[in-house]
Chains A and B, each alone.
Chain A
Amino acid sequence: MQAYWTLMRRELAGFFLSITGYVLLAGTTFLVGFSFWSLLRNLEGDSIPMPVTELFYMTAFFWLILLLAVPVITMRLFAHEKFSGTYETLMTTPVSDLQVLAAKFSAALALYMILWLPLLACIFILRHYTSDPTGLDAGVVGSTFLGIFLVGCLFISLGCFASALTRSQMTAAMISVVLCVSLFLVSFLAKQLPTSDWQAQVLSFFALRDQMHDFARGVVDTRPVVLYLSLTFFFLFLTLRVLGSRRWK
């Protein structure tokens, strides 16, 4: 446990000791701010029967942030250490692969959640200046953040996997972008097929876009929760096997 906390703190500090953390924070703050601005423009018009979080979700910046920020966070996790050689000094200390993976994953997840804080700030601002607080129900905000957290878990585990495969951060970033984007595009593929097809049904289980839409609307369905968690564990398990592979190569 000590090794886990030591590593996790070091990883998280690592983001802010390099420029990565600040660039990411600046980038997401800008995008969230931009979508907040367009959201306010929308609200000036006629009343819309949607929660604010759903309106935010509809601005398309949501997925942009997710698909860009996650690979940038995760690319350095293992690839950087392998490239600089510190992976060797790390793995020759009495820590287990699992501790290393858990520390890196949770540090990335923590940074990812920090990146979403500006959204929370926007919601509070809105709540403060609005006359009708019903559009900003705490439950809806909670379910949105639950969705953000779960999709984040899944994408970060994909990123961990990509980063463990290679020594190059660029390659790691590209692999995780490809994995994340293809998973995201599955939702559109399902729409193209006739709904009666079994393929369409299977694909619709992976329709992240619609599932996230539900979370933003305040609907928490257990099926996507189970899906995201099990996929996260699956990819973390694969990462663990990749880390262990040096022992049977």
Chain B
Amino acid sequence: MSDDLMIEVKNLTKRYAGHTAVSNLSFTVGRGEIVGLLGPNGAGKSTTMRILSCFLPASSGTVRVAGLDVFTESREVRRRIGYMPENNPLHLDMRVREYLKFRARLKGLGRKRSRERADVVMEQCGLKDVSRTIIGHLSKGYRQRVGLADALVHEPELIILDEPTIGLDPRQIRAVRQLIKGLAASHTVLISTHILPEAEMTCSRMLILYEGKILAADTPENLQRLMDNTSRIVAEIAAPEIELQECWAQMPEIEQFDVSPTDGEYFRCALTARDGIDLRPRIFALTRERGWCLRELTRKRHSLEDIYVQVTRPEEEEEP
């Protein structure tokens, strides 16, 4: 175990009665990283986070936070973690500042320090003008910020945020994202999300979770590149269908193609390239050469679903 590891998960398995939520999960997160846990609903993100934050025990495997075991040294681990659960539960009957002071006291801060920290995090999260408002009267965006402020109030080494931007409007999402990015300097952050662009924008590394297993773990750029390797090109060309078919079949760079008629004389060609070659210049050159009319030429960006499909594919093929 080395000092620069913040989270160390080894062979983590969590079984609920009847089903396995997380199976044999292993990953590490270094100090100062922002890591995104990505996956569809039910992939085991929340379960993993609950285990990391000492709320649930693991069925087997070891989990260490800052070198401490989450089960045997739970109190010490909890002192170091700022955790915001899914749906961000808050005491709706308390006022913002009062709530943050209460939470700071619970987390072991002194009276004076609690007051100071409450003021600091309110400033940090843009809660200054609602400090005396009852939380139940706040909008969802503000409540989310209160949850975030609570996670930060005791200056934890590790911040765990479960779906921090769920249910917010685009402007609020941007504000929260900005805030998370700002934390990077002094904290390690683990966030979960099922929105790919969100993870791309905030995280330095992403772990893709699917049915309790890690399918891919890499930087957003590398994952994107992985996707681009097999990206699909869509071209709409006015040409005889047979010629098009022949043309694609002869091109060695094309792995798969599909030609379907659209309106008028145009045909819609969906092409999959081999080995990540960018087909677009080739297609453009081809149409110019043959004197065909090209109406559309686009590269389909992969959505998260495609990534799931992509990374799950090899496995599915192995299983008959």
Contacts and interface: CB of A to CB of B under 8 A. Distances in A.
Interface string A132-147: 0000000000000000
A249 to B, nearest CB: 8
Contacts of A96: 75
B55 A91 contact: yes
Contacts of B290: none
Interface in B44-69: 50, 53-57
A141 to B, nearest CB: 36
Interface string A82-100: 0011101111111110000
B57 A92 contact: no
A89 B146 CA distance: 13
B236 interface: no
Nearest to B83: A92
B106 A95 contact: yes
Given A17-B93, A85-B89, A92 B81 contact: yes
A92 B75 contact: no
Interface stretch (A6-14, A40-48, A163-171, A213-221): A6-14
Interface residues of B, number: 28
B108 A89 contact: no
A85 B106 contact: no
B94 A93 contact: no
Given A96-B75, A246-B56, A3 B89 contact: no
Contact of A10 (B53, B54, B102): B102
B78 interface: yes
Contact of B89 (A17, A84, A95): A84
A248 interface: yes
A131 interface: no
Contact of B83 (A86, A89, A248): A89
Contacts of A247: 57
B105 interface: yes
B103 interface: yes
Dominant SS at the A interface? helix
B118 to A, nearest CB: 13
B150 interface: yes
B91 to A, nearest CB: 6
A86 B146 CA distance: 13
Contacts of A7: 106
A222 interface: no
A3 B106 contact: yes
Given A6-B105, A6-B106, A85-B87, A94 B55 contact: no
B31 interface: no
Contacts of B93: 14, 17-18
Contacts of B90: 86, 89
Nearest to A84: B89
B55 A92 contact: yes
Interface string B83-113: 1110101111110000000110111100000
A2 interface: yes
A176 to B, nearest CB: 23
Interface string A237-249: 0000000001110
Contact of B107 (A17, A94, A248): A94
Contacts of A3: 105-106, 108
B187 interface: no
B78 A92 contact: yes
A193 to B, nearest CB: 43
Contacts of B108: 2-3, 94
Contacts of B84: 89
Interface string B70-81: 000001101101
Given A92-B83, A96-B75, 19 more contacts: A3-B105, A3-B106, A7-B106, A14-B91, A14-B93, A84-B89, A85-B89, A86-B89, A88-B55, A88-B85, A89-B83, A89-B84, A91-B54, A92-B78, A92-B81, A93-B103, A246-B56, A246-B57, A247-B57
Sort A-B residue pairs by CB-CB distance and give the 10 closest, nearest first.
A85-B89, A6-B105, A17-B93, A94-B78, A92-B53, A94-B79, A86-B89, A93-B106, A92-B83, A88-B85
Interface of A: 2-3, 6-7, 10, 14, 17-18, 84-86, 88-96, 246-248
5 contacts: A6-B106, A86-B89, A88-B55, A91-B55, A96-B75
